[in-house]
Structure 1
Amino acid sequence: MRLKDKVIIVTGSTTGIGKAIAKRCVAEGAKVVLHGLEGFLGEEVLDEIGAENAVFHQEDISVEACPERLVKLAVDHFGKLDAVVNNAAWVIQSNIENTDRAFLQKVLDINAVSPFLLIQAALPELAKNQGCVLNIGSVNAWSGEPNLLAYSISKGALMTLTRNLGDSLMRDQGIRVNQINPGWVLTEREKERKRDHGLSETWFEDLPKMYAPAGRILWPEEIAAACVYWLSDEAGPISGQVVDLEQYPMIGRNAPKDTSTIH
Structure 2
Amino acid sequence: MRLKDKVIIVTGSTMGIGKAIAKKVVSEGAKVVIHGLEEDLGKQVVAEIGSENSVLHIEDLSNEGATQRLVDLAISTWGKLDSIVNNAAIVAASDIHSTDKAFLNKLMEVNTYAPLFLIKSALPHLIENHGAVLNIGSINAWSGEHNLLAYSITKGAIMTMTRNLGDSLFRENGVRVNQINPGWVLTEKEVERKKEHGLSDTWYQHLSKMYAPAGRIIWPEEIAAATIYWLSDESGPISGQVVDLEQFPMIGRNIPKDPSTIPHK
For the aligned pair, the TM-score class normalised by the smaller chain equals: over 0.9
1:225 is aligned to 2:214: no
Partner of 1:180: 180
Deviation at 1:254, TM superposition (A): 1.1
Q: Which amino acid aligns with 1:262?
A: H
Consecutive unaligned residues of structure 2, counting only runs of 5 or more, are none
Partner of 1:39: 39
Q: Which amino acid aligns with 2:63?
A: V
Deviation at 1:38, TM superposition (A): 0.9
Partner of 1:2: 2
Q: Which amino acid aligns with 2:200?
A: S
Deviation at 1:261, TM superposition (A): 3.0
Alignment of 1:90-105 (within 5 A): 90-105=90-105
Deviation at 1:62, TM superposition (A): 1.1
Tell me the TM-score normalised to structure 2 length: 0.98
1:58 is aligned to 2:58: yes
Pick aligned residue for 1:262 from 246, 261, 264:
264
Partner of 2:24: 24
Tell me if the contact between 1:210 and 1:258 (Cα under 8 Å) persists in the aligned partners: no
CA offsets 1:85-134 (integer angstroms, 9 cap, x no match) = 00000000000001001111111111001100000000000000000100
Question: Equivalents in 2 of 1:53, 1:254: separation in Å?
Answer: 45
- CA separation of 1:191/1:257 partners in 2, compared to 1, >3 Å: closer, same or farther? farther
Partner of 2:242: 242
Number of residues of Structure 1 aligned to a counterpart in Structure 2? 263
Question: Equivalents in 2 of 1:258, 1:113: separation in Å?
Answer: 42
Partner of 1:171: 171
Q: Alpha carbon RMSD of aligned pairs, Å?
A: 0.7
Question: Equivalents in 2 of 1:52, 1:19: separation in Å?
Answer: 17
Partner of 2:193: 193
- CA separation of 1:258/1:217 partners in 2, compared to 1, >3 Å: closer, same or farther? farther
Deviation at 1:258, TM superposition (A): 5.7
Q: Which amino acid aligns with 1:178?
A: N
Report the 3-state secondary structure (helix = DSSP H, G, I; strand = E; otherwise coil) of the residue aligned with 1:117: helix
Q: Percent identity, aligned pairs only?
A: 69
Question: Equivalents in 1 of 2:263, 2:115: separation in Å?
Answer: 32
Partner of 1:88: 88
Alignment of 1:111-130 (within 5 A): 111-130=111-130
Q: Which amino acid aligns with 1:140?
A: N
Runs of 4+ aligned structure 1 residues displaced above 2 Å come to 256-263
Question: Equivalents in 2 of 1:207, 1:38: separation in Å?
Answer: 30
Report the 3-state secondary structure (helix = DSSP H, G, I; strand = E; otherwise coil) of the residue aligned with 2:207: coil
Deviation at 1:233, TM superposition (A): 0.2
Tell me the TM-score normalised to structure 1 length: 0.99
Consecutive unaligned residues of structure 1, counting only runs of 5 or more, are none
Question: Equivalents in 2 of 1:180, 1:256: separation in Å?
Answer: 28
- CA separation of 1:129/1:38 partners in 2, compared to 1, >3 Å: closer, same or farther? same
Q: Which amino acid aligns with 1:110?
A: V
Report the 3-state secondary structure (helix = DSSP H, G, I; strand = E; otherwise coil) of the residue aligned with 2:93: coil
Partner of 1:141: 141
Question: Equivalents in 2 of 1:198, 1:138: separation in Å?
Answer: 24
Question: Equivalents in 2 of 1:119, 1:252: separation in Å?
Answer: 34
Partner of 1:204: 204
